[in-house]
Structure 1
Amino acid sequence: TNKVRIYDASLLFRFRMAKEVKSLRESIAEIYAKAKDFGINPSLVAAGAPLSSSSHHDAISLQRRREHVDYEGLIGRQEFIEQIKKELREASNGDKRLTVIGIYGMGGSGKTAVSRNIFKAAEVKEYFQEQIWICVSHDFDFQKLLKAML
Structure 2
Amino acid sequence: MRAFLTDTDKLKGTLKTLEVTSDELRELIYEADDLVMDCRIRAEYPKSKGSFSCCHLSSRELFFRYQTGKKLINISKQFEQMQPTLKVYLEAAARFNSEGSRGEMRRSSQVFKQSEIVGLTEDAKRIKGWILPRNKELHYIGIVGMGGLGKTTIAQKIFNDKEVKARFQERIWVPVSENANVYEILKSILKQLRADDQATSDLPHKICQVLSDKTYLIVLDDVWNIKNGWWETISIGLPSTEEHSGCIIITSRIVDVVKDMGVMETRVHQPKLLDEEEGWSLLCKVAFKSKKQGSTNSNLEKIGKEIVTKCGGLPLAIKAIGGSLSSKNSSIPEWDRICKTFRAKIATKIIILLWLLCS
Q: What's the TM-score, normalizing by structure 2?
A: 0.23
Q: Which amino acid aligns with 1:143?
A: Y
The separation in 2 between residues aligned to 1:136 and 1:71, in whole angstroms, is 23
1:55 aligned partner: none
| Cα offsets for 1:23-58 (capped at 9, x unmatched) | xxxxxxxxxxxxxxxxxxxxxxxxxxxxxxxxxxxx
Determine the structure 2 residue equivalent to 1:63: 107
Alpha carbons of 1:88 and 1:68: their partners in 2 closer, same or farther (altered >3 Å)?
A: closer
CA distance, structure 2, for counterparts of residue 127 and residue 68 of structure 1: 19
Match of residue 79, structure 1, among 95, 105, 122: 122
DSSP-derived class of the 1:139 partner: coil
The unaligned stretches of length 5 or more in structure 2 are: 1-47, 49-104, 191-359
Which stretches of structure 1, 4 residues or longer, exceed 2 Å deviation after superposition?
61-64, 66-69
Gaps of 5+ in 1: 1-19, 21-60
In the alignment, the residues of structure 2 paired with residue 136 and residue 96 of structure 1 have an alpha-carbon distance, to the nearest angstrom, of 27
**Which of 114, 122, 127 matches 2:167?**
127
Aligned AA for 2:158?
I
Instruction: Judge conservation of contact 1:71–1:116 (CA < 8 Å) in 2.
Output: no
Pairing of 1:21-36 with structure 2 (within 5 A): none
CA RMSD of aligned residues (A): 2.4
Q: Output the amino acid matched with 1:88.
A: I
Q: Deviations over 1:38-90 (max 9, x none)?
A: xxxxxxxxxxxxxxxxxxxxxxx6433x6554145421111111000110013
Tell which structure's C-alpha radius of gyration is larger: 2
Match in the other structure for 1:89:
132
Match of 1:105 among 138, 141, 145: 145
1:135–1:114 Cα change, 3 Å:
same
Q: Which amino acid aligns with 1:101?
A: I
Q: Secondary structure at 1:126's aligned position in 2? A: helix
> Number of aligned pairs?
89
Q: Which residue of 1 aligns with 2:335?
A: none
1:116 partnered with 2:162: no
Distance (whole Å) between structure 2 residues aligned to residue 68 and residue 98 of structure 1: 25
**Preserved contact between residue 143 and residue 151 of structure 2 (Cα < 8 Å):** yes
* Residue equivalent to 2:319: none
C-alpha spacing 1:114/1:70, structure 2 compared with 1 (3 Å): same
- Distance, in Å, in 2 between the alignment partners of 1:69 and 1:85 is 18
User: Would the alpha carbon gap of residues 112 and 83 (structure 1) be closer, same or farther in structure 2, given more than 3 Å must change?
Assistant: same
Q: CA deviation at 1:96?
A: 2.8
User: TM-score scaled to structure 1, two decimals?
Assistant: 0.52
**What amino acid sits opposite 1:145 in the alignment?**
I
What is the aligned-residue identity percentage? 36
Write the letter of the residue equivalent to 2:143: I
Q: How far apart are the structure 2 equivalents of 1:131 and 1:67?
A: 10
Are the structure 2 counterparts of residues 63 and 71 from structure 1 closer, same or farther at C-alpha, using a change threshold of 3 Å?
farther
CA drift of 1:134 comes to 1.8
Contact 1:72 1:117 (8 Å CA) reproduced: no
C-alpha distance in 2 between matches for 1:85 and 1:131:
14
**C-alpha displacement of 1:139:** 2.8
